[in-house]
């Protein structure tokens, strides 16, 4: 499967191409900008240009380009947040590599289009181990290899592991001569300062309206965004076409979170009914989306209450936040969504 075309960012592409052609492209770059604006797609484009061996790069016809265009180039490594692998830290590099290849294959089958990973997805310690290993090897096909780390701020959780943190910092500071590192983030402020200081930041701006219209007319993109009038989509996307992917799911998560908050305030019977409506299914991603939406709603409540000077209400809402965080941790484990929801609603109801 060919991945979706890169829409827009022409001026930035020219700048990067010019830097590359005079051998002045930094070894470690950070693309930052709004979620869904195409930062990882841009990184894949640059990676393709780095491995293409035609004079007119990227030519889109050479073997390197063909592999890159189907996410099969063995010197382009794309890491992104994913659900945690059980016992990931105990797995050997070969197994981790196979699991990672399967994730990339899944993205290739979806034309490189994907919804924003939910709150429980991350880039874990064992991923760092795999990246460091991959960086240490010689390129398989091309003269260079490229490591892309999407949503790099999701690596933050491993601050707890000094060893993993040091390994990635060393890699960013001194990548092997044949290696380019491309990080992306829509929340660069959440990146460890020690990471930010080791990369050259490049801003990826929202797409202008004409480019957005062209992107929305792209059949691959049209197939995965909500079925709504173009003007409505333009307003929702804010110049970031990828933000529209999974927009229906996000709207559903917010509706569900509102229902849960209302049930928490209603009574024991309503709480139980709302909890059982959660379903015990394997839709763990959908469940963590609801918990993420709850966090957003509760923070809205805190702000609104504070703005109207209602301090007790603001304090009460703030006391709910740890309960939601605890529910998220339980959801990351193997807990049953119905039981987690029931417990959470009781806790919210019991907050003084």
Burial of residue 211 (CB within 10 Å: 0-12, 13-18, 19+) is middle
Which segment (57-65, 216-224, 272-280, 330-338) binds Zn ion by CB under 5 A? 57-65
The CA distance from 340 to 343, in Å, is 5
State the nearest-atom distance from the C-beta of 52 to Zn ion, in Å: 3
Which segment (59-67, 75-83, 100-108, 180-188) binds Zn ion by CB under 5 A? 59-67
State the nearest-atom distance from the C-beta of 108 to Zn ion, in Å: 18
8 A C-beta contact, residue 264 and residue 271 = yes
Question: Tokens for 18?
Answer: 């010019």
* Choice between 41 and 125, CB closer to Zn ion: 41
State the nearest-atom distance from the C-beta of 181 to Zn ion, in Å: 21
* Choice between 59 and 108, CB closer to Zn ion: 59
**Burial per residue of 250-278, b for 16 or more beta-carbon CB atoms within 10 angstroms, e otherwise:** beebbebbeebbebbeeeeebbbebbeeb
- Which of 9, 79, 18 minimizes the C-alpha distance to 39? 9
State the nearest-atom distance from the C-beta of 348 to Zn ion, in Å: 56
- Which residue from 3, 37, 65, 264 is in contact with Zn ion, where contact means CB under 5 A? 65
Q: What is the dihedral of CA 86, 89, 95, 99, to 10 degrees?
A: 50
State the nearest-atom distance from the C-beta of 126 to Zn ion, in Å: 33
Which DSSP symbol is given to 89? G
Question: Tokens for 249?
Answer: 């799911």
* Choice between 75 and 292, CB closer to Zn ion: 75
List binders of Zn ion among 113-172 (CB under 5 A).
none
Question: Tokens for 6?
Answer: 């890169």
# residues contacting Zn ion (CB under 5 A): 5
- Which residue from 1, 12, 25, 59 is in contact with Zn ion, where contact means CB under 5 A? 59
Does 62 contact Zn ion by CB under 5 A?
A: yes
Which segment (17-25, 63-71, 159-167, 238-246) binds Zn ion by CB under 5 A? 63-71
Per-residue mark of binding to Zn ion, 17-56 (x: CB under 5 A): -----------------------------------x-x--
Question: Tokens for 299?
Answer: 């923070």
State the nearest-atom distance from the C-beta of 59 to Zn ion, in Å: 4
State the nearest-atom distance from the C-beta of 73 to Zn ion, in Å: 10
Strand partners, 29: 182, 200
Which segment (33-41, 62-70, 80-88, 336-344) binds Zn ion by CB under 5 A? 62-70
The CA distance from 337 to 330, in Å, is 9
Mark out the alpha helices in 22-110 (DSSP H runs). 39-51, 63-69, 93-109
State the nearest-atom distance from the C-beta of 156 to Zn ion, in Å: 35
Cα 349 to its chain centre, rounded Å, is 33
Cα-based distances in Å from 246 to 84, 206, 282, 295: 21, 19, 18, 19
**Vertex 90 angle, CA 179 and 96, to 5°:** 40
List binders of Zn ion among 271-310 (CB under 5 A).
none
Which segment (60-68, 120-128, 181-189, 311-319) binds Zn ion by CB under 5 A? 60-68
The residues of the shown chain that bind Zn ion, judged by CB under 5 A, are 52, 54, 59, 62, 65
């Amino acid at each position: 499967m060919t991945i979706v075309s890169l829409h827009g960012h022409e001026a930035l592409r020219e700048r990067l191409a010019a830097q590359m052609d005079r051998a002045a492209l930094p070894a470690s770059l950070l693309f930052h900008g709004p979620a869904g604006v195409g930062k990882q797609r841009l990184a894949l484009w640059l990676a393709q240009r780095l491995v293409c061996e035609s004079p007119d790069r990227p030519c889109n016809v050479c073997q390197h380009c063909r592999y890159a265009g189907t996410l099969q180039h063995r010197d382009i490594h794309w890491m992104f947040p994913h659900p945690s692998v059980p016992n990931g830290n105990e797995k050997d590099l070969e197994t981790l590599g196979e699991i990672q290849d399967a994730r990339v294959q899944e993205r290739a089958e979806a034309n490189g289009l994907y919804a924003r990973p939910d709150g429980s997805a991350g880039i874990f310690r064992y991923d760092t181990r795999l990246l460091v290993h991959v960086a240490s090897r010689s390129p398989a096909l091309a003269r260079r290899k490229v490591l892309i780390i999407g949503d790099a701020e999701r690596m933050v959780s491993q601050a707890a592991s000094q060893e993993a943190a040091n390994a990635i910092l060393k890699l960013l500071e001194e990548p092997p001569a044949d290696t380019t590192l491309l990080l992306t983030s829509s929340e660069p402020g959440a990146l460890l300062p020690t990471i930010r200081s080791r990369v050259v930041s490049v801003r990826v701006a929202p797409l202008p309206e004409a480019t957005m219209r062209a992107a929305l007319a792209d059949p691959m993109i049209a197939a995965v965004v909500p079925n709504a009038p173009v003007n409505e989509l333009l307003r929702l996307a804010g110049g970031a076409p990828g933000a529209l992917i999974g927009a229906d799911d996000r709207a559903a998560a917010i509706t569900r979170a509102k229902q849960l908050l209302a049930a928490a305030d209603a009574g024991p019977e309503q709480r139980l009914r709302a909890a059982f409506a959660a379903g015990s299914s394997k839709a763990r991603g959908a469940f963590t989306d609801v918990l993420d939406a709850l966090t957003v709603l509760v923070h809205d409540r805190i702000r609104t209450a504070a703005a109207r000077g209602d301090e007790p209400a603001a304090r009460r809402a703030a006391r709910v936040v740890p309960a939601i965080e605890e529910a998220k941790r339980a959801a990351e484990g193997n807990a049953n969504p119905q039981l987690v929801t029931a417990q959470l609603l009781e806790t919210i109801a019991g907050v003084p």
